[in-house]
Amino acid sequence: MKSILNKRMAFMLLLLIQCGTTWSQDTLSTYLITSDTTIEYKFSKAQYQILPDKTGELSIDEVKSDIYAKQFFTKGKSPTNIDTNVNTNWYRYTVKNTLAKEFSVMLHTNQDYSDFYVIRDGQKQTHYKNGWLIPWKDKDGLEGDNLIPLTLAAGEQAVIYNRIENRRPDTQYSFEVKLFNAERYVFKLFKERQGYFDFPFIILSIFAGFCLLGGL
């Protein structure tokens, strides 16, 4: 009888520990793309999680393992036993294209070093990198703007891990996770840079006008 009670108590204790572990995990909400007219898609705190990498040596496989997967937390809810004043942080989030068509976005971090690992259903993991301190020849995507194009089929969902490293620590509190509408962003860049090319022409035209007026 005593052994049965001990087993029941052990089982209840294990159940409580498991429940406590489950409750301590933050729920990660999927970011849903519902419009193709927005140029910028900003994630709320509930839509991405952070894992500080104190040594800067964690690999993507380690980060995805059960040991580290449970250590991700929501911004502003870091455990007291984790040092967040680090140079390297991992971010993870899920994005889904709910549109009835294929849609392209741009991944962006604007950091010194940035690695993206994109995991799609039924497909191999894809690795991209960019960042201000990465040599131009080693960058993926739009090098000058540190943007990585990502096309999602209608209804497709992707899990994204983003490793960022900076010379200055503790950047996670100023960092925002966001995507850009690829088509609209490229059009915006074109319009901005078209203005750069037009400016010398405008100055030259004004100068030519003064010359003509002077000649008259």
Residue range 27-204 in CATH 2.60.40.2380:
yes
- At residue 79, the pLDDT reads 66
The structural domains of the chain, with segments of one domain joined by +, span 27-204
Q: Where are the alpha helices (DSSP H) in 87-177?
A: none
**Length of the chain measured in residues:** 216
Average pLDDT value for residue range 22-31: 65
- What the block records as the tokens of 20 is 């406590």
Could you report the per-residue pLDDT of 42-64, keeping only the tens digit for each?
999 889 999 999 999 999 999 99
- The pTM of the whole model exceeds 0.85: no
Cα–Cα–Cα angle for 125, 150, 41, nearest 5°?
A: 120
Per-residue confidence band for 80, with pLDDT thresholds at 50, 70 and 90: low
**Can you give the C-alpha Rg of the chain in angstroms?**
24
| 88-97/31-33 β-pairing | parallel
The overall average pLDDT reported for the chain is: 79
- What the block records as the tokens of 116 is 């993206």
Average pLDDT value for residue range 137-163: 93
